[in-house]
Amino acid sequence: MAADRKFRVVVVGAGIAGLFIAEKLKRAGIDFTVYEKADEVGGTWRDNTYPGLFVDVMSRQYEFPFQPNYDWSRKYAPAPEIQAYIKKVAADRGLRQYIRFNEEIVAALFKDGRWHVKTAKGETDMADVFVAATGFLNQPTYPDIEGRDSFAGPAFHSARWDHSVPHKGKRWGIIGSGCSGVQITEALAWEGAQVTQFIRRAQWIHIRENPRTSWLHRMWLRLPFAYRREQRKLWTFINVMDRWRLEPGPQREAMQREFASYLDAIKDPELKKKLTPQYHLGCTRIPKSDQNYYQAVQTPNVRIENRAIARIVPEGVELRDGTLCKLDVLVYATGFDTHAFMRPMKVTGLNGVTVDEVWKERIYSYGGVALPGFPNLYMLYGPFSPVNNVPVPLGLDQEIGFIMRLIKRARDEGVVIAPSAEATRKFVDRLDNAFPGTVWVGCKNWYSDQHGTPILWPLTQDEHRAFFEREATGDLEIVPVGRAVAASAGAN
Ligand SMILES: Cc1cc2nc3c(=O)[nH]c(=O)nc-3n(C[C@H](O)[C@H](O)[C@H](O)COP(=O)(O)OP(=O)(O)OC[C@H]3O[C@@H](n4cnc5c(N)ncnc54)[C@H](O)[C@@H]3O)c2cc1C
């Protein structure tokens, strides 16, 4: 690297992942800029403001390890509290000054040993390292239903909630039975709105208590060592409790029985049948119900509709058997493009090869964080990250610890670093071999690619930590910047 210029990092995205690595870069004294296409931090928690959204892991598991929050109001905090906490972290840590809001990155090209980054406004920036913290549930998807644009009333995605629409006195149609569909249906039901939830298939739903945190407990957490002791207990507990996802056995059977027993709260056998899943527990992401969904759907103002939708018409939703469900408001709780990862950014690595090209047959990565042929590029929560069995902040902590070591090495030694193709193949093989016997195989779910292979971490969180803490030099191609310049010459 030329001595006359500063080593720089560009981070894309100011959700929890982008802020997490921003704090680490700041502490390491590395020059960096975060580009955020929206006008605020928070990502998921900024975009999803629908009624009934609570965090699905314990609030205390959803903290940046460098900024404890002793004051969560509930065991599972409501979404506005999570967003307020994220904004507070950004402000307390002085991270906002590094963020360029309303700036979408549309392309990144590795050329002459550096990343050349282009914004939607046509500006360019350059960096030694490019970090995509773009989220795995960031691009809303809409169902391919005839007549979608013809609906006469307000219609919006769950991640784009229209707060100008009053809840009561309206006939709501909620399309979708995943986490968002369940939470919205129960919240609107208890508010007394008329709700029809259109479900293609039933989900296993975790009916749980969500107690307020006591004043005493909040004070206790503030005591020296108490917080750390409590967090340690929490991680140990999760490690043990989550094993049922990875291997068959009595723990999995007990979980399956427990979830089936929640359905016993439904009195009407027809309704119970509609809401009983036909696949095993854990295969899809489990919606968490904090306001007792199974009671909510038995109120007279709620209807569960599992007949197929034929089309959307101005007055509502028409079913295949000709029934018209009249509606005033339509909500698409239809999820996200879970396989976009860094895209639609056009990311071009060595020899002019793009991410779209290398992922054409199969989406893969090294450790969920890097790609062979894309030097000094890192993804946070990229393909094969633990989206299901490790709380996201903990998974990020492990990924970022590894990435920061490599970034510092690139800076100190003037090198570019990428995983070798061989190490990446071994990593993917290891994970592929771990899937049989886990809960994620054997049903259709959003984790799986076009070949039916889930793209998540199918091992324990201890194994995730061990992967990132080990000395990985043997897996990496480490090349002086000068040689990388030659390799990327001609890219444009
Ligand atoms: C409704 C919902 C509920 C969830 N609940 C939970 C939960 O309870 N527990 C849990 O562990 N996880 C939950 N998740 C998963 C959640 O997405 C992660 O926990 C976490 O918030 C991801 O953070 P992130 O920073 O990686 O991504 P995001 O929060 O998606 O942030 C990515 C950011 O990058 C920005 N960005 C993307 N592309 C570009 C670009 N090209 N240029 C500039 N900026 C860009 C986006 O605007 C966004 O701000 C939930 C997700 C959803 C959608």
Instruction: Give the H/E segment covering residue 17.
Output: helix 16-27
Angle formed by the axes of helices 461-469 and 226-241, nearest 10°: 110
DSSP 8-state code for residue 448: B
Cβ pair 373, 351 in contact under 8 A = yes
Distance spanning both ends of the chain, measured CA to CA: 21
Q: Which residues, other chains included, contact 125 with Cβ-Cβ below 8 Å and sequence gap of 6+?
A: 10, 33, 35, 116, 117, 119
Which ligand 1 atom is nearest residue 54's CA?
A: 8
pLDDT tens-place string over residues 7-23:
999 999 999 999 999 99
Taking residues 22-28, report their average pLDDT. Answer: 98
Amino acid 2: pLDDT: 47
Ligand 1 pocket, residue 176 CB under 6 Å: no
Question: Three-class SS of residue 177?
Answer: coil
The average confidence (pLDDT) of the chain is 94
* Two structure tokens written together for 358: 């290398």
Q: Is pLDDT at 224 greater than 80 in this prediction?
A: no
Amino acid 184: pLDDT: 98
CA–CA distance from 212 to each of 74, 78, 228, 468 (Å)?
4, 11, 21, 36
Ligand 1 pocket, residue 36 CB under 6 Å: yes
Half-sphere exposure of residue 17: CA atoms within 13 angstroms, side-chain side: 30
Q: Is pLDDT at 253 greater than 60 in this prediction?
A: yes
pLDDT-based confidence at residue 130 (cuts at 50, 70, 90): very high
Q: Hey, which of 19, 23, 44 would you mutate to test ligand 1's pocket, going by the most ligand atoms within 8 Å of its Cβ?
A: 44
Strand order in the sheet with 114-119: 124-127, 114-119, 105-111, 346-348
CA–CA distance from 249 to each of 256, 390, 437, 461 (Å)?
11, 20, 10, 19
CA–CA distance from 326 to each of 177, 313, 318 (Å)?
20, 9, 9
Give the residue ranges of DSSP H helices in 71-117.
Answer: 79-92
Amino acid 467: pLDDT: 97
Instruction: Give the H/E segment covering residue 156.
Output: strand 155-157
Taking residues 82-92, report their average pLDDT. Answer: 98
Cβ pair 325, 216 in contact under 8 A = no
Residue ID of nearest Cα to ligand 1 atom 24: 135
pLDDT-based confidence at residue 487 (cuts at 50, 70, 90): low
Amino acid 239: pLDDT: 76
Distance (Å, rounded) from C-alpha 204 to C-alpha 28? 44
Which ligand 1 atom is nearest residue 35's CA?
A: 43
Taking residues 257-261, report their average pLDDT. Answer: 97
Q: Which residues, other chains included, contact 181 with Cβ-Cβ below 8 Å and sequence gap of 6+?
A: 158, 174, 175, 197, 199, 287, 333
Q: Alpha-carbon torsion 123, 124, 127, 133, what sign?
A: positive
Q: Is pLDDT at 362 greater than 60 in this prediction?
A: yes
For the question of whether the overall pTM of this predicted structure is more than 0.85, the answer is yes
Ligand 1 pocket, residue 465 CB under 6 Å: no
Amino acid 112: pLDDT: 93
For 168-229, the DSSP string reads TTSEEEEE--SHHHHHHHHHHHHTT-EEEEE-SS----EE---PBPPHHHHHHHTSTTHHHH
Q: Is pLDDT at 202 greater than 90 in this prediction?
A: yes
The length of the chain in residues reads 492
Ligand 1 pocket, residue 57 CB under 6 Å: yes
Amino acid 490: pLDDT: 53
Cβ pair 298, 268 in contact under 8 A = yes
Instruction: Give the H/E segment covering residue 404.
Output: helix 392-413
pLDDT tens-place string over residues 429-475:
999 999 999 999 988 899 998 888 899 999 988 899 999 999 999 99
Amino acid 372: pLDDT: 98
Q: Which has the higher per-residue pLDDT, 291 or 24? A: 24
Amino acid 305: pLDDT: 98
Cβ pair 418, 374 in contact under 8 A = yes
Residue ID of nearest Cα to ligand 1 atom 19: 392
pLDDT-based confidence at residue 241 (cuts at 50, 70, 90): confident
Ligand 1 pocket, residue 449 CB under 6 Å: no
Residue ID of nearest Cα to ligand 1 atom 26: 135
Q: Which has the higher per-residue pLDDT, 237 or 123? A: 123
Of all residues in the chain, the percent with pLDDT exceeding 90 is 87
pLDDT tens-place string over residues 265-312:
999 999 999 999 999 999 999 999 998 999 999 999 999 999 999 999
- State yes or no: cis peptide before 375, omega within 30 of 0: no
pLDDT-based confidence at residue 233 (cuts at 50, 70, 90): confident
Amino acid 76: pLDDT: 96
Distance (Å, rounded) from C-alpha 237 to C-alpha 214? 21
Task: Report the range of poorest mean pLDDT among 52-61, 200-209, 322-331, 478-487.
Answer: 478-487
312 CA to centre of own chain: 29
